[in-house]
Structure 1
């Protein structure tokens, strides 16, 4: 009887694989990770300072220590007595209304330009891009006179229309790229199965383009939520001021209400952080849409 022995190199393979798994990360990987953490800390420090200032008592506002000796959580409770709840509701109405109006107009426009070759298509897309070059600040006088003629000063609807108009171009462009990346054969197969053109768009194309739609949604929402100049110009009463304008009211001529200013800023960032955290994955995939053909 003869016995066969396995080669020595075959027995050494598991040991080598285990040793490879135990190999510590390379110096370059450690350096990149450490640099990324330092950059993240650098950008998070202002938010930490904002939270700590919001929690400082009034008598510690000028102390040199980084951490307060006492935490005044009452700052986040007393601020609601200043009418912040109304301003928060107004900001939500403006952001949600502007986002809904942008998607209502941008989705059909982007779908049609991505699927149809019509005369003046390039000119239309060029005009859409040109509108992105104009900022509300440069046109604020004309915007004010126009809405004054329509008797829409101090109206939430005026802010909804302005924010929707200035964010429409971005939504059309990103959705046009995403609709163009979806193969036409998928839509044609749905039409062969009995769907109409509109039915194929709602049942097939829009679900496939949802990452791009979510990307347009989050950027439009953030832009409308953070807008300040137009809101300051077109609103005159405290009941129609969004959070951005309300926060500026804590800065007086002779004194600044630092606790309420920073507490209001913390509250204003919470809805955006929650919204972005919920749909962050689709935002990333939507931004890369159309980059590879």
Structure 2
């Protein structure tokens, strides 16, 4: 009996899936382009006010007040504004800049000196009233110098510190201490206690454990506290306006208001001083950025 040959059914080739081009990190090019566009738009949004200040500092006062507005200098770049503003009769800007630097730097150092051991102790030891202490510390963050200016002024008079750098260093340190303590407390609490115990078994003292073991691990928190305290002290205005009465002792934030009069305002100098006040903060971020990123990524690779 003959067997009929089996029918062969042609196999239809399966449709090839559409291939998408991906970058090195697995993100499609369309997504990458979208992120770049959004990033550029956000950067422009934040940079426009600073560009307006920069361009305004290179104009004459008449150009700034011109109607319709002139977006770019028509009479040439007035670079001389940055020279003449230091010798204006309104305020001695050189002394104001020195005052601002001294107050911000020493207030930051004082905060680190007090907050670092306090954060370490509250993170490592359970003592009676620990949570109440931390709660009171965070409550002080709700109080601003503008609300307490009258009391601060009276207190500095009693201590004979009114109109001095020491007064503003203490005030700025006091109002930034709570944030620095809390941020470093969270970093210290994230380090296992077994790390300290292992170091102590090897013969390290408590101070050696703090400075040689813990501080390198909490470096991102220290950097955050430095940036926050320095910027807040650099920009502080309300307490400085009340406490500092001598023109030479006032910081830049107060000296800036001297160019704003009742009937006329030297806008070219207002913009120029604002640009000068921004530069040290930018330099601080540029110097500390690599250390911050390095500390954040130090434990990400095993």
Whole-angstrom CA distance in 2 between matches of 1:285 and 1:121: 32
CA contact (8 A) 1:214 1:286 kept: no
Q: Once superposed, which parts of structure 1, at least 4 consecutive aligned residues long, lie more than 4 Å away?
A: 16-26, 281-288
Q: Indicate yes or no: 2:68 matched with 1:61.
A: no
Whole-angstrom CA distance in 1 between matches of 2:182 and 2:27: 45
Q: Deviations over 1:64-85 (max 9, x none)?
A: 2211121000011112224211
Deviates more, 1:46-55 or 1:245-254: 245-254
Which of the numbers 237, 242, 247 marks the counterpart of 1:228? 237
Q: Indicate yes or no: 2:246 matched with 1:237.
A: yes
Which of the numbers 143, 147, 160 marks the counterpart of 1:138? 147
Structure 1 residue 57, shift from structure 2 partner: 2.2
Q: Indicate yes or no: 2:78 matched with 1:72.
A: yes
Q: Deviations over 1:12-62 (max 9, x none)?
A: xxxx99965699945444333322211210111000000001000234222
Whole-angstrom CA distance in 2 between matches of 1:281 and 1:130: 33
Q: Give the structure-1-normalised TM-score.
A: 0.87
Whole-angstrom CA distance in 1 between matches of 2:166 and 2:218: 29
Q: Give the secondary structure class of the aligned counterpart of 2:127.
A: coil
Structure 1 residue 102, shift from structure 2 partner: 0.5
Structure-2 residue corresponding to 1:49: 52
Pairwise CA RMSD of aligned residues?
A: 2.5
Q: What residue ranges of structure 2 are gaps of 5+ in the alignment?
A: 1-17, 298-302
Q: Give the structure-2-normalised TM-score.
A: 0.84
Compared CA separation, residues 285 and 223, structure 1 to 2 (3 A)? farther
Compared CA separation, residues 19 and 230, structure 1 to 2 (3 A)? closer
CA contact (8 A) 2:96 2:251 kept: yes
Compared CA separation, residues 286 and 155, structure 1 to 2 (3 A)? farther
Q: Give the secondary structure class of the aligned counterpart of 1:247.
A: helix
Structure-1 residue corresponding to 2:256: 247
Whole-angstrom CA distance in 1 between matches of 2:48 and 2:296: 27
Deviates more, 1:21-30 or 1:96-105: 21-30
CA contact (8 A) 1:250 1:260 kept: yes
Q: What residue ranges of structure 1 are gaps of 5+ in the alignment?
A: 1-15, 289-293
More helix by share: 1
Return the index of the structure with the highest Cα Rg. Answer: 2
Whole-angstrom CA distance in 2 between matches of 1:120 and 1:207: 29
Structure-1 residue corresponding to 2:274: 265
